[in-house]
Amino acid sequence: MSDRKVKVMIAKCGCDIHERGALTMLNVFRDAGFEVIYTGRYQSEEGVAKAAVDEDVDIIAVSDLSGSLVIICRKILAALAEMGVDDIKMMCGGLLSEQDEKDLYDMGLFAVMGTGSPVQASVDAIKEVMGIE
């Protein structure tokens, strides 16, 4: 009887102070039945990538309100590639432009959530990509 849980790491990199969005999603994901790890603020992309591998998470969920999502996600993906890891999925949310959104999807993220997007949409996106219900 497998008792598999979806494991998500909410990550914040750089010097962005805004934390409410990340904390909101943390509660939303926990209440959706996921196991959630939060990196805390001001982490390096390499640190996030390594921690995600050690924790064997299914998903890295990046939060940022400083307009740096593209840069951060690119660096995390590079750090994962460096370790030869290609099976951790990535999503993000926060402040972004239309161009950012396009770039992020092009980079292979499975969900990109702007400010004001309903939280349920994020939960649904995770369930869909993980193939549950």
Partner 1 sequence: MDEQRIYGALEGLKKKQKRALSRAISIVENHEEGMEIVLDYAYQNMNDNALLIGITGPGGAGKSTTVDKIIEEFRKRDMKVGVMAVDPSSPYTGGAFLGDRIRMFKHSSDDGVYIRSFGSRGAMGGISEGTKNALYLFKNYDFDVILIESLGIGQDETEITNFVDVTVVTVVPGFGDSVQIAKAGMQEIADIFVINKADKPDAQMYYNQMKEQLLSIPEEIRPLILTTIATTGKGIPEMVDALIDVGNRQITKRQQKEEARVRSEIRSQLLDRLAERLEGDVEALAEDVLDKKMTPFEASRKIDAKVTIG
Tokens standing for residue 50: 């390594």
Q: Which stretch binds partner 1 (CB under 8 A): 42-50, 61-69, 102-110, 114-122?
A: 42-50
Rounded to 10 deg, the angle between the 69-82 and 98-106 helix axes is: 10
Kindly identify the residues of this chain, within the stretch 22-41, that bind ligand B12 according to CB under 6 A.
Answer: 22, 24-25
What is the dihedral angle through the alpha carbons of 61, 64, 67, 68, rounded to the nearest 10 degrees? -60
Look at residues 35, 44, 34, 33 and name the one whose alpha carbon lies nearest to residue 11.
44
Which residue, 78 or 121, is less far from ligand B12 as judged by CB?
121
| Least gap, CB of 89 to partner 1 (angstroms) | 15
Count of CB atoms situated within 10 Å of the CB of 53: 15
User: Which residue in the set 14, 19, 32, 110 belongs to the binding site for partner 1 (CB under 8 A)?
Assistant: 32
Does residue 63 touch ligand B12 according to CB under 6 A?
Answer: yes
Which residue, 68 or 79, is less far from ligand B12 as judged by CB?
68
The 50-89 site mask, x for binding partner 1 (CB under 8 A), equals xx-xxxx--------------------------x-x----
Tokens standing for residue 79: 């750090």
Distance separating alpha carbons of residues 69 and 103, to the nearest angstrom: 10
Contacting positions for partner 1 (CB under 8 A) = 1-5, 26-27, 29-40, 43-44, 46-48, 50-51, 53-56, 83, 85
